[in-house]
């Protein structure tokens, strides 16, 4: 039974009067402090500092009061009381406060003013002021806005991985978990939400004061709050009350999505309680939907933040978007156990929380989509993305050393989110499902409300298997790259298999062996045979295949269990290129397609051949996940891997086919998938005119309702194609947009599609100011249009300055921004000149931060390969 209602005047129950903790703010006396340089403490939290503090400190409690002013340009003032236990008071105590010394207004220890120093974002309290056992630090300060995402009528914190200390003084490292008690003083019309339950909410004149219950022990990066003009939906699932804070103005959008959002959270919570054997550990459960939030979601315990448009889907949402939403919700909910209840000791193991979140999400999403082939989904979600990094020169290992938390942001990427779940599935296969789950239960119970490292988990799992998990982990987790897996088939004179051997090699020459299970697939006209084998040495025989007749084709990675660059034998490759559309099994079609695509990137198959194969596959492809993959790859090859002349030649065929398949599609979701592909490839005059008629609503597509967002994109696509009156189209579109946030976004992106080069230049210039990069999703959309392949000749001039900006972007941007900035900059290019700019940049910066250099190499890989593939097609390889 569920209840759902919009409570516009929602207030938490039980309004309790409280004396303002803020009073403390004004009562604080200014201290006779001194500031001096402390060069021995480097900026950021070094591993050394973190280890030292972890030994000294325990039982930390923060009582934090923040006053959010009415105007966005006024500073946020704060008062803080820190309680902590010191094992050893013989050394100075280092607090993190990554702003300016001027922002620290007062600081007292045990009620007395102290001679502290401020250096490199740290407040150093001398040992004389400290005592063994309980200590109390009180401070008043001005919070820096860096991680507070302030807007005129709302704000939200985003502290991962080390930004809590930009807002208030604290010990900003994941293994110093603390209890937080927050008081927020906000404009009277605002609502506020945080990790803890709202225990009181007091309106006093033009202000409201919210007081939140003390949290369980959580890491600083997980502490969060949001406040502003939010509406709230409430629902109950299995006796658990949930609130959804949002700013959506369209009642239809809300009605269409709210129940599903609550359902998905309710089911994820139930599943996780069952799997882990541990009840939801954080009391209350709320979600906050934030427009243009930097990530899909962030797992703050008790108050998950989401990017609003990932949860509030349009009526034209594709199946992929619906599955994506379910996975995202399952992912963030899994974090409540994996990451929040048990947290990595240090950010080098950040991948652990992400892998478990994705791994559990894959399991949780199954029952909610009974019609989906989940092996297929796992394959298509994880393999192409993992390969996209692992095939590059910039590939990184899953677990990366980290010397300073200030670099933690650069650890994230496809290897953590996509390769690690594949590896974890291998681990589960190696140990067995039940022992694996029992191991995880032991791990969660042993370290609950605490921290653990990967080796500590491996110790627990190692006791449950005969396998040598430590060597296994060294190759899969501590090293980058993938094996090359080849088949060696020998036939007898009578055509029967004399021997079938699988061989793995390390293309990087390290001689690594990726111990893994494979399901070798042999396909015959009358069916398929699978042979599970453990590839735990360089060469392994598939003994069961000996004596069988020669198959039509062999894929070493049947059922998508294994991981590596699969090199097909020539017979199998020829057969698949000719007959793949006849394959009846959807997963086999997907595996074969992805395998051939990887072969294309290695130069074994031409891009033109792959496009032609896709055009033959699509009319018969009934599985939407496969359609999505094929269209995605065709669009990539179309813009990037074939010469312009071939593109013009192919355009009419692609447009006609996509339009026809859209009209024929039986679901809105599939129609939408084809329509979006059409919209992105359309080039002929006739095709573009048709798109314009759709935008003008002179042509409707039966069964496909277009949302405000769809129309916005169409207008931008028309402008980038420089249709007559493109400027007027943009004007009208801007006028049409009803949602105020989307209106601002459209106005922001608009100059990036202008046909006027000077306007685009000026827009690019504006991005050099960090202030103009605040709304990262908007920036990325605009940068993608700036570098649209149709504009590549001109936008090539932005590549070098974009690379020059990268270090600053790393500093000012959020976790995923640097890589996405690079992708948006480079993905529209395929010329040798563009590649040369990247090579030259790398040559000129031999000492460039290596993690950032790796990101450049990852993002530029497609560009480098494009230049090679295009050269081949010019010399007549097609």
The smaller minimum CB distance to Zn ion, of residues 336 and 635, is found at 336
The DSSP secondary-structure symbol of 218 reads B
Smallest separation, CB 72 to Zn ion (Å): 29
Which span sits near Zn ion by CB under 5 A: 155-163, 302-310, 350-358, 438-446?
A: 350-358
Q: Which residue's CB is nearer to Zn ion, number 160 or number 554?
A: 160
Using the CB atoms, write b or e for 125-161: b if 16+ within 10 Å.
beeebbeeeebebbbbbbbbbebbbbbeebbbbbbbb
CB of 563 to Zn ion, least distance (A): 21
**Helix 740-749 / helix 726-736 crossing angle, nearest 10 deg:** 160
Task: Determine the Cα–Cα distance for residues 419 and 424; give it in Å rounded to an integer.
Answer: 9
Q: Which is nearer to Zn ion, 286 or 354 (CB)?
A: 354
Helix (H) or strand (E) holding 201: strand 198-204
Nearer to Zn ion, 357 or 838 (CB): 357
Nearer to Zn ion among residue 161 and residue 480 (C-beta): 161
Closer by beta carbon to Zn ion, 417 or else 476: 417
Q: Which is nearer to Zn ion, 357 or 610 (CB)?
A: 357
The burial class, CB within 10 Å (0-12 / 13-18 / 19+), for 396 is: buried
Residues of span 455-514 touching Zn ion by CB under 5 A: none
Please enumerate in sequence order all residues whose Cβ is within 8 A of that of 590, keeping only pairs 6 or more positions apart, or say none: 376, 379, 380, 560, 625, 626, 629
Smallest separation (angstroms) from Zn ion to the CB of 357: 4
Region from 78-86, 121-129, 352-360, 454-462 binding Zn ion, contact rule CB under 5 A: 352-360
Q: What is the Cα–Cα distance from 310 to 292, expressed in whole angstroms?
A: 10
Which residue's Cβ lies closest to Zn ion? Answer: 357
In the beta sheet, which residues pair with residue 125?
A: 93
Least Å distance, CB 359 to Zn ion, is 11
Smallest gap from residue 239 Cβ to Zn ion (A) = 27
Q: Shortest Cβ distance from residue 667 to Zn ion (Å)?
A: 30
Point out which span in 239-247, 310-318, 346-354, 474-482 binds Zn ion (CB under 5 A). Answer: 346-354
Q: How far apart are CA 486 and CA 818, in angstroms?
A: 36
Region binding Zn ion by CB under 5 A among candidate stretches 357-365, 465-473, 477-485, 604-612: 357-365
Between 357 and 590, name the residue whose CB sits nearer to Zn ion.
357
- Of the pair 479, 776, the CB lying nearest Zn ion is at 776
Count the Cβ atoms, other than its own, within 10 Å of residue 740: 11
Is 424 a binding residue for Zn ion by CB under 5 A? The answer is no
Q: Output the furthest CA–CA distance in the chain (Å, rounded).
A: 96
DSSP 311-370: HS--TT--HHHHHHHHHHHHHHHHHTTBTTTEEESSGGGHHHHHHHHHHHHHHHHHHH-T
CA distances from 259 to 67, 245, 247, 254 (A): 34, 14, 17, 9
Nearest to Zn ion of 334, 669 (CB atom): 334
Query: What's the CA gap between 760 and 211, in Å, rounded?
Result: 47
- Part in contact with Zn ion (CB under 5 A); list of ranges 179-187, 256-264, 353-361, 833-841: 353-361
Structure-block tokens of residue 174? 């994941």
- Region binding Zn ion by CB under 5 A among candidate stretches 94-102, 355-363, 382-390, 716-724: 355-363
Euclidean distance between CA atoms 481 and 462, whole angstroms:
24
- Closest CB 297 distance from Zn ion, rounded Å: 7
Find the part of the chain contacting Zn ion (CB under 5 A) among 93-101, 269-277, 347-355, 398-406. 347-355
Is residue 357 at the binding interface for Zn ion, with CB under 5 A as the rule?
A: yes
Residue of 686, 664, 608 whose CA lies nearest to 641? 608
Closest CB to Zn ion among residues 336, 380: 336
Cα separation values, 820 from 133, 348, 473, 557, Å: 47, 21, 29, 30
Site string for Zn ion, 625-664 (x = CB under 5 A): ----------------------------------------
- For Zn ion, give the closer residue by CB, 328 or 395: 328
Q: Which is nearer to Zn ion, 116 or 280 (CB)?
A: 280
Nearer to Zn ion by C-beta: 457 or 577?
Answer: 457
Give min distance, CB of 335 to Zn ion, in A.
6
Count the neighbouring beta carbons within 10 Å of the beta carbon of residue 424.
22
Q: Which is nearer to Zn ion, 337 or 472 (CB)?
A: 337
Q: Which is nearer to Zn ion, 422 or 681 (CB)?
A: 422
Phi and psi at 617, nearest 5°, equal -75, -40
**At closest approach, how far in Å is the CB of 298 from Zn ion?**
8
Query: Min. distance of Cβ 178 from Zn ion in angstroms?
Result: 21
* Tokens representing residue 35 in the block: 């500031």
Over 620-639, what HEC string results? HCCCHHHHHHHHHHHHHHHH
> Of the listed pieces 143-151, 356-364, 406-414, 784-792, which binds Zn ion according to CB under 5 A?
356-364
Helix 433-446 vs helix 454-462: crossing angle, to nearest 10: 130
Which is closer to Zn ion, CB of 357 or CB of 362? 357
From 237-245, 349-357, 709-717, 772-780, give the range in contact with Zn ion by CB under 5 A: 349-357
Please identify, using beta-carbon distances, which residue of 354 and 741 lies nearer to Zn ion: 354
Query: Smallest Cα–Cα separation from 487: which of 430, 574, 555?
Result: 555
In the complex, the smallest distance separating the C-beta of residue 157 from Zn ion, rounded to whole angstroms, is: 17
CA 43 and chain centroid, separation: 27
In this chain, which stretch among 278-286, 354-362, 572-580, 704-712 interacts with Zn ion, using CB under 5 A? 354-362
Q: How far is the CB of 276 from Zn ion (least distance, A)?
A: 17
3-state helix, strand, coil in the chain (%, to 5): 45, 20, 35
Q: How far apart are CA 61 and CA 216, in angstroms?
A: 10
The 3-state DSSP class for residue 43 equals coil
d(CA 567, CA 556): 9
Q: Which of residues 840-869 bind Zn ion (CB under 5 A)?
A: none
CB of 489 to Zn ion, least distance (A): 42
User: Smallest distance, Å, CB 224 to Zn ion?
Assistant: 14
Do 77 and 26 meet the contact criterion of CB atoms below 8 Å apart?
Answer: no
- Name the minimum Å distance from CB 354 to Zn ion: 5
Size of the site for Zn ion (CB under 5 A): 2
Asked if residue 56 binds Zn ion (CB under 5 A), the reply is no
Question: To the nearest whole angstrom, how small is the minimum distance from the Cβ of residue 145 to Zn ion?
Answer: 25
Q: Cα–Cα distance between 638 and 869 in angstroms, integer?
A: 12
What SS3 class is residue 115? coil
Q: Which stretch binds Zn ion (CB under 5 A): 115-123, 136-144, 351-359, 795-803?
A: 351-359
Burial letters for 201-212: b for 16+ Cβ neighbours within 10 Å, e otherwise?
bbeeeebbbbbb
Cβ 358 to Zn ion shortest distance, Å: 7
- Please report how close the Cβ of residue 420 comes to Zn ion at its closest, in angstroms: 11
- Chain residues binding Zn ion by CB under 5 A are 354, 357
């Amino acid at each position: 039974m569920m209840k759902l209602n919009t409570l516009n005047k929602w207030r938490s129950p039980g309004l309790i009067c409280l004396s303002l903790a803020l009073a403390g703010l004004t009562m604080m006396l200014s201290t006779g402090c001194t500031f001096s340089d402390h060069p021995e403490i480097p900026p950021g939290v070094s591993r050394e500092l973190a280890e030292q503090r972890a030994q000294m400190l325990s039982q930390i409690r923060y009582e934090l009061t923040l006053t959010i002013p009415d105007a966005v340009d006024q500073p946020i003032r704060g008062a803080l009381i820190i309680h902590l236990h010191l094992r050893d008071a013989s050394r100075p105590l280092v607090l993190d406060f990554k702003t300016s010394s001027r922002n620290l207004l007062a600081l007292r220890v045990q009620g007395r003013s102290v001679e502290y120093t401020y250096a490199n974002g740290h407040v150093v309290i001398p040992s004389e002021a400290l005592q063994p056992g309980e200590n109390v630090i009180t401070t008043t300060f001005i919070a820096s806005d860096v991680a507070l995402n302030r807007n005129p009528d709302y704000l939200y914190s985003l502290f991962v991985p080390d930004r809590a200390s930009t807002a208030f003084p604290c010990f900003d490292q994941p293994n110093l978990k603390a209890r937080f008690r927050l008081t927020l003083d906000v404009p009277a019309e605002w609502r506020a939400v945080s990790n803890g339950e709202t225990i009181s909410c007091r309106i006093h004149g033009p202000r409201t004061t919210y007081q939140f219950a003390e949290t369980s022990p959580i890491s600083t990066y997980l502490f969060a709050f949001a406040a502003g003009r939010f509406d709230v939906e409430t629902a109950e699932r299995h006796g658990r009350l949930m609130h959804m804070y949002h700013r959506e103005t369209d009642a239809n959008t809300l009605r269409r999505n709210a129940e599903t959002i609550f359902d998905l959270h309710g089911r994820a919570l139930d599943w996780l309680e069952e799997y882990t054997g541990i009840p939801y550990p954080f009391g209350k459960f709320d979600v906050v939907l934030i427009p243009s939030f930097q990530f899909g979601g962030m797992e703050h315990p008790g108050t998950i933040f989401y990017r609003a448009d990932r949860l509030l889907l349009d009526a034209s949402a594709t199946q992929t978007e619906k599955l994506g939403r379910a996975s995202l919700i399952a992912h963030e909910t899994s974090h409540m156990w994996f990451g929040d209840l048990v947290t990595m000791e240090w950010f080098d193991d950040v991948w652990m929380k992400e892998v478990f979140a994705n791994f559990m999400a894959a399991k949780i999403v199954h029952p909610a989509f009974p019609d989906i082939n989940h092996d297929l989904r796992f394959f298509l979600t994880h393999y192409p993305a993992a390969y996209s990094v692992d095939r590059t020169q910039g590939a990184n290992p899953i677990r990366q050393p980290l010397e300073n938390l200030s670099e933690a942001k650069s650890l994230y990427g496809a290897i953590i989110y996509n390769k690690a779940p594949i590896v974890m599935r291998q681990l589960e296969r190696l140990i067995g499902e039940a022992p694996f789950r029992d191991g995880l239960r032991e791990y969660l119970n042993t370290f609950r409300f605490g921290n653990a490292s990967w080796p500590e988990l491996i110790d627990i799992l190692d006791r449950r298997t005969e396998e040598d998990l430590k060597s296994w982990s060294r190759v899969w987790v501590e090293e980058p790259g993938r094996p090359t897996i080849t088949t060696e088939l020998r036939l007898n004179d009578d055509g029967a298999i004399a021997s079938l051997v699988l061989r793995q090699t390390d293309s990087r020459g390290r001689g690594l062996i990726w111990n893994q299970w494979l399901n070798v697939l042999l396909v015959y006209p009358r069916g398929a045979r699978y042979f599970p084998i453990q590839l735990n040495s360089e060469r392994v025989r598939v003994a069961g295949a000996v004596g069988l007749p020669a198959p039509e084709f062999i894929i070493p990675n049947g059922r998508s269990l294994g991981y590596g660059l699969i090199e097909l034998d020539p017979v199998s490759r020829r057969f698949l290129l000719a007959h793949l559309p006849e394959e009846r099994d959807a997963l086999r079609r997907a595996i074969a397609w992805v395998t051939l695509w990887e072969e294309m990137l290695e130069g074994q198959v031409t891009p033109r051949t792959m496009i032609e194969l896709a055009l033959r596959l699509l009319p018969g492809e009934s599985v939407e996940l496969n359609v999505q993959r094929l269209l995605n790859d065709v669009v990539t090859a179309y813009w990037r891997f074939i010469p312009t002349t071939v593109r013009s030649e192919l355009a009419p065929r692609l447009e006609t086919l996509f339009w026809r398949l859209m009209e024929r599609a039986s679901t809105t979701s599939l129609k939408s998938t084809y329509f979006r592909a059409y919209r992105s490839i359309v080039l002929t005059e006739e095709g573009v005119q048709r798109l314009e008629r759709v935008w003008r609503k002179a042509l409707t597509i039966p069964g496909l309702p277009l949302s405000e967002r769809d129309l916005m994109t169409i207008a931008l696509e028309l402008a980038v194609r420089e249709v007559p009156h493109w400027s007027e189209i943009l004007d009208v579109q801007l006028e049409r947009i009803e949602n105020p946030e989307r209106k601002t976004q459209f106005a922001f992106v608009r100059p990036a599609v202008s046909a006027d080069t000077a306007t685009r230049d000026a827009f690019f210039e504006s991005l050099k100011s960090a202030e103009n990069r605040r709304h990262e999703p908007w920036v990325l959309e605009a940068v993608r249009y700036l570098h649209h392949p149709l504009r590549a000749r001109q936008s090539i001039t932005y590549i070098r300055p974009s690379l020059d900006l990268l270090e600053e972007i790393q500093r000012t941007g959020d976790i995923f921004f640097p890589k996405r900035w690079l992708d948006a900059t480079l993905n529209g290019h395929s010329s040798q000149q563009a590649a040369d700019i990247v090579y030259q940049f790398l040559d000129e910066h031999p000492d460039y931060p290596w993690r950032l250099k790796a990101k450049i190499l990852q993002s530029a890989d497609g560009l480098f390969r494009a230049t090679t593939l295009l050269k081949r097609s010019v010399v007549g390889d097609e």
